[in-house]
Chains A and B, each alone.
Chain A
Amino acid sequence: MNDQMNDHVHDRMSESATFTEQLQDRFVETQKSLPGAHESWVRVLRKSAMDQVVSQGMPNTRHEAWKYTDVKKYLDRLLADSVEMPSLNVSEEMLTAFSFDDLDSLRVVMIDGKVSQALSSLKNIPAGVRIESMADMFAKEPDVIEAYLHDQHVSGAFAALNNAMMSDGVYLEIPDGVVVEQPLHCLFLSASGDSASYHIKNLIVAGECSQVTVIEHYASIGESTAFINAGTDVELHAGGRLEHYKLQQSGSKEVNIGSIRVHQHRDSYYHSHSVAFGAALSRRDIHVEMNGEGAECALNGLYLVGGRQHVDHHTRIDHVRPNCRSRESYKGVIDGRARAVFNGKVVVHENADQTDSAQSNANLLLSDQAEIDTKPDLEIYADDVKCAHGATVGQLDMKQLFYLRSRGLSEDEARNVLMFAFADEVLTAIKVPQVRKYLERIAFEKLPHGAELDGLLG
């Protein structure tokens, strides 16, 4: 029996070794064509990141952080060639489905992992603000981004793989004191029907007391089976403010994995909204490091999944310095045989006194086969702190349901209203009304029973 088990483990290990070898072969083949190949620091960064992938291996369910999320059956997609030319000609009209009503925004569109200058629209950018393609930055101004990327120590094989293979993405730089009124809408569209992987890298550098809203939006046209592995790095200088939306509206066969890493300097404010509706499997790792006193962050999240979808959020907030405040609220509605995972870690470092942290995760399970694995996780090494956390899993409240029905709402309508109200609490934190409305519409359409939404959305 024991021997058998050992054999089994051995098989899986050798299998995964083979896979990382293949991945490395692919890396060696493509690295010369990856942007920044002429720069030694970029080559070193990519090489050491790839070494990390090989030594660590791709995640499997024996890794604590991936215990509930099995990516195995999708990994082969990472070996497929990326699409050289988009197979679908994306027109301006096709983008209207992914735009926010009359919102006056700056827009960068990426099709299958490449920035499309033709579809992007960058008018009236305030002086000094830079919005560029990362591929261009690697090619033309690698020294500008070096400080933020060259000595990155990332945790996790996907983040490392992202550093090894990153090809394009959005670079945003805001000078000190500049307020960018128009939100920057970064639309990452999958338009190819092929299995392909995209290692998108975004970099946001917000200067002192600057202010900006960034919408990182993943969606697809047609039946994409893409494997997206994105990495977004944020440097938020003293007093800087970032409203960061991550909208995951990927196609039902896609895999969307990514990490967001945020460095906060003193008195900066980071507000993240992570909304996940789509994909066969999606996972976000959000890591916020509060490195300066007086920093504040708020992480909001909503996941609405059904069928056999799988959605995973892992967040980590590091209170490194005193007097920082963090708030986290994630909510999920899980239907069918879908599975959701939430892991929220808060680490209060030694001397990070006067830390004020609160976290909650609430879930609604709509079917017997739906599943949620939720784990709040607190590590406190300072004395004078205020930390709260809690997780709930439940069904609809029968008292509320009866109340609504007694006023004349049908049972289906009452259920929809309650589910929507539950989810909408996260969406009400969204500060751009057009974005909120867009998401509310999708959220409502995702709910079962299909009641009318006019009136409810006001």
Chain B
Amino acid sequence: MLKIENLYASVAGKEILKGIDLDVKAGEIHAIMGPNGSGKSTLSNVIAGRDGYEITQGSVIYKGKELLEMSPEERAWEGVFLAFQYPVEIPGVNNTYLLKAGLNAKRKHMGLDELDAIDFMQIVKKKADLVELDHSFLSRSVNEGFSGGEKKRNEIFQMAVLEPDLALLDETDSGLDIDALRIVAGGVNKLRSPDRAVVLVTHYQRLLDYIEPDVVHVLADGQILKSGGKELALELEKRGYDWVLQEATA
């Protein structure tokens, strides 16, 4: 589903990603862990198409197409979704409007009819219940005045509505209490299917208690230093990252 080869990216002349290789197959959940400043968020942002990153080398092939040549909206239409580490507040833009516009744009791209208002609202309400998001949030401005946990839940809610094929969760677990974490994880697990893939970018192991990954990667200093099964996450939790760094330089 997603194949990243030898990806180099820099921000304002500073190299952040230094040759990333990653192969994510449909049906898999990958966790990317690593210390702060290792390039985890840069990787998510590059995949989602955010401005401000210069790709100096490499390729990101998604469903057989070069993702780096697509605009952010084309990536969304093709089924890529990024749950933001810091969801943006957009005063004056209604949450439901955003989802309706996004979903219908995607459907149009796929050659499907736009959903009518009633069908759409049914979907939206069902998905809101899934992440235990009060329906009053639907008519509020996007993320405006939401608490940290509400913002993260709103991301998962959007993901549930847009039903992406590739979901990238950028530190969605950070700052969540245990109840919110369970809700977020529930949303991700519901999305899980043989046709979809999930990439979890996280700093902590505890999210992986609720979402079982197929592969765990350690990203440090712009490179994937080690990959393994879910037991790698537990080891990282116990021993920290230093041993991986030492192992890599040894």
Binding site for B on A (CB under 8 A): 397-400, 402-411, 413-414, 417-418, 420-422, 424-425, 428, 455-456, 458
Contacts and interface: CB of A to CB of B under 8 A. Distances in A.
A410 B73 contact: yes
A262 B101 CA distance: 44
Contact of A405 (B71, B84, B93, B141): B71
Contact of B102 (A407, A424, A428): A407
Which of B73, B76, B99 has the most chain A CB within a 10 Å cutoff?
Answer: B73
A290 B105 CA distance: 51
Contact of A403 (B75, B88, B105, B162): B88
Which label, helix, strand, loop or mixed, suits the secondary structure of the A interface?
helix
**A406, A408, A417, A458: which has the most chain B beta carbons within 10 Å?**
A408
B100 interface: yes
B188 to A, nearest CB: 18
7 nearest interchain CB pairs?
A: A421-B92, A408-B102, A407-B102, A408-B76, A405-B72, A403-B88, A408-B105
Interface string B94-109: 1001111111011000
B149 interface: no
B71 A411 contact: yes
B90 A418 contact: yes
Interface stretch (B3-11, B45-53, B176-184): B45-53
A398 B52 CA distance: 10
B92 A408 contact: no
Nearest to B109: A408
Contacts of A428: 92
B74 to A, nearest CB: 9
A397 B101 CA distance: 19
Nearest to B86: A399
A406 B82 contact: yes
A417 B100 CA distance: 13
Given A403-B87, A403-B88, A455-B101, A409 B73 contact: yes
Contact of B90 (A400, A406, A408, A411): A400
B92 A407 contact: no
B172 interface: no
A358 B7 CA distance: 51
A408 B106 contact: yes
Contacts of B75: 406
Contacts of A456: 94, 97, 101
